[in-house]
Amino acid sequence: MNHFQYVNGALFAEDVAIAAIAERVGTPFYCYSTATLTRHYTVFRDALAAAGLDATVCFACKANPNMAVIRTLAELGAGADVVSEGEMRQALAAGVPPGRIVFSGVGKTRHELELAVAKGILQINVESEPELELLSEIAAARGIRMPISLRVNPDVDAGTHAKITTGKKENKFGIEWTRAREVYARANALPGIDVVGVACHIGSQLTELEPFRDAFIRVRDLVAMLRADGVNIRRLDLGGGLGVPYDQEIPPEPKAYAEVIRATLGDLGCRIIVEPGRLLVGNAGILVSRIIYVKEGSTRTFVIVDAAMNDLMRPALYEAHHAIFPVTEPAAGAARIEVDVVGPVCETGDTFAKQRSLPPMRAGELLAFGTAGAYGAAMSSTYNTRPLVPEVMVKGAEFAVVRDRPSYEEMRALESLPAWFKS
């Protein structure tokens, strides 16, 4: 469920007309619904609580690192799963307490580890032996023992897109399953390291529960072995990955996901950490764009919009589907035609949809791209020297710009010419 609905023939975000936002901030822009963020978080949190789990929900900031989004979730009680110094600083600035921040990622630098230790975050999910040794050195030098979980790669096929699966042995993430006990023994003996748990994450946009179940059973077996080895495991970080409906998918409900956790891991006496990203923010955001031209080709009709692959790159990167719908509601029974919806960037890959059925459209009309709150603005770029687009948040009848569109002068101010060029 989301809070983007037609009201008297016009698309609204909660109680604000999308056309009114477009008039104020220009197009393209991202729009986020506070009510949808709130609903998705509370449904997920309450499902875990109803299953009797001692769970902490840490929002995976990579899905949408906008500070207003993080703050909205933080005020509801969410923590943050971060994968870079920038995300850590963003979460802290948004008001997430350090004790609710988990630092994941396969390539943490010395500086990033030093910052995480200094800030006193909840835990670091260590993904390699070199990282483990470096972290031990950093923490021991400060006279502390840093809480860690080792991210273990359970070699489970998530059954999702190859570019977003993370739990198979050929993926770059985590400690290989067969070496986990050996690495845990080393971690348990290092100064500066407090081994508190096991972490795993098998991929993104999962629409079936069985891969989760398979991975969690492996985690359960590992916990039993580690406890037998004298390692005091008391936290289980299960990552995220539960999917959302982009097209015809019917992902499991949060309560079914929570039941899988309860059935496989609920009796281990561990604190559960889960890191949903897309699930919380995907359907809470749309991208709004204006039609520049409708171009009649020899074999198809092109609807050319002012958003481009640099603004929403998921279709180009993953062949991903996003619902596309006019901001002015079509009349009941209106005719539809097959069109290609494309952007203005000089790439054939700058295509949002091929042969999509839409009502006839004219230049100047507004289109919305659904389920764009996750990995939309977060993955955007300035390709073709196009400014990053604004992000807008709606709450009830109010809206605010939560990231401005930079001017060309502001973009250019980040660059400089070397002294050998004459002015």
pLDDT tens-digit map of 161-193: 443 344 344 444 579 888 999 999 999 999 999
Q: Does 216 have pLDDT greater than 60?
A: yes
Give the pLDDT of residue 172: 46
Are 268 and 184 in a shared domain?
yes
How are beta strands 366-369 and 351-358 bridged, if at all?
A: unpaired
In a domain, residue 181? The reply is yes
Are 20 and 136 in a shared domain?
no
Q: What is the mean pLDDT of residues 219-248?
A: 94
Q: Does 155 have pLDDT greater than 80?
A: no
370: left (phi over 0), alpha (psi -120 to 50) or beta: beta
Instruction: Pull the structure tokens for residue 241.
Output: 């990955």
95: left (phi over 0), alpha (psi -120 to 50) or beta: left
Element (H, E) at 115: helix 110-119
Average pLDDT, the chain: 94
Instruction: Pull the structure tokens for residue 67.
Output: 């500070």
Q: What is the mean pLDDT of residues 397-410?
A: 98
The residue with greater pLDDT, 291 or 157, is 291
**Residues near 139 by Cβ (< 8 Å), separated by ≥ 6?**
117, 145, 146, 191, 192, 193
* Least reliable range by pLDDT among 89-98, 157-166, 187-196, 212-221: 157-166
Do 347 and 309 touch, CB atoms closer than 8 A?
yes
**Alpha-carbon span 211 to 221, nearest angstrom:** 16
Whole-number percent of the chain with pLDDT over 70: 96
Are 292 and 322 in a shared domain?
yes
**Alpha-carbon span 64 to 300, nearest angstrom:** 35
Do 252 and 207 touch, CB atoms closer than 8 A?
yes
Give the pLDDT of residue 157: 54
Q: What is the mean pLDDT of residues 267-283?
A: 97
Are 110 and 223 in a shared domain?
yes
* Least reliable range by pLDDT among 123-137, 202-216, 275-289, 375-389: 202-216
**Residues near 120 by Cβ (< 8 Å), separated by ≥ 6?**
98, 99
Do 98 and 89 touch, CB atoms closer than 8 A?
no
Greatest CA separation found in the chain? 72
In the numeric block, the tokens 């005020």 are attached to 75
Domain boundary among 248, 277, 306: 277
Give the pLDDT of residue 333: 85
Are 98 and 149 in a shared domain?
yes
Please give the model's pTM, rounded to 2 decimal places: 0.94
In a domain, residue 326? The reply is yes
Distances (CA, A) of 323 to 14, 48, 247, 248, 352: 19, 30, 7, 10, 10
3-state secondary structure of 76: coil
In a domain, residue 370? The reply is yes
| Residue 112 belongs to domain with CATH number | 3.20.20.10
Structure confidence by residue, pLDDT tens digits, 279-312: 999 999 999 999 999 999 889 999 999 999 999 9
Q: Does 14 have pLDDT greater than 50?
A: yes
Domain boundary among 217, 250, 277: 277
In a domain, residue 423? The reply is no
* Least reliable range by pLDDT among 74-78, 81-85, 170-174: 170-174
Instruction: Indicate the pLDDT class of residue 423, thresholds 50, 70 and 90.
Output: low
Domain boundary among 277, 302, 317: 277
**Alpha-carbon span 208 to 365, nearest angstrom:** 38
In a domain, residue 85? The reply is yes
* Least reliable range by pLDDT among 63-67, 205-209, 287-291, 394-398: 205-209
Residue-number span of the structural domain to which 350 is assigned: 4-32+282-412
Among residues 199, 206, 215, 281, the alpha carbon closest in space to that of 242 is found at 206
Do 102 and 125 touch, CB atoms closer than 8 A?
yes
Give the pLDDT of residue 18: 98
Structure confidence by residue, pLDDT tens digits, 310-348: 999 999 998 999 999 999 999 988 899 999 999 999 999
Q: How many domains does the chain have?
A: 2
**Alpha-carbon span 72 to 297, nearest angstrom:** 45
Are 299 and 325 in a shared domain?
yes
Are 152 and 231 in a shared domain?
yes
Among residues 405, 398, 302, the alpha carbon closest in space to that of 356 is found at 302
* Least reliable range by pLDDT among 5-9, 248-252, 336-340: 248-252
Give the pLDDT of residue 169: 46
Distances (CA, A) of 5 to 369, 393, 397: 13, 16, 14
- Is 346 assigned a catalytic role? yes
In a domain, residue 418? The reply is no
Torsion, Cα 159 165 171 175, to 10 degrees, reads: -100
Do 399 and 361 touch, CB atoms closer than 8 A?
no
In a domain, residue 187? The reply is yes
DSSP character for 28? S
Whole-number percent of the chain with pLDDT over 90: 89
**Residues near 203 by Cβ (< 8 Å), separated by ≥ 6?**
158, 160, 164, 165, 166, 167, 211, 241
| Residue 8 belongs to domain with CATH number | 2.40.37.10
Among residues 76, 91, 4, the alpha carbon closest in space to that of 40 is found at 76
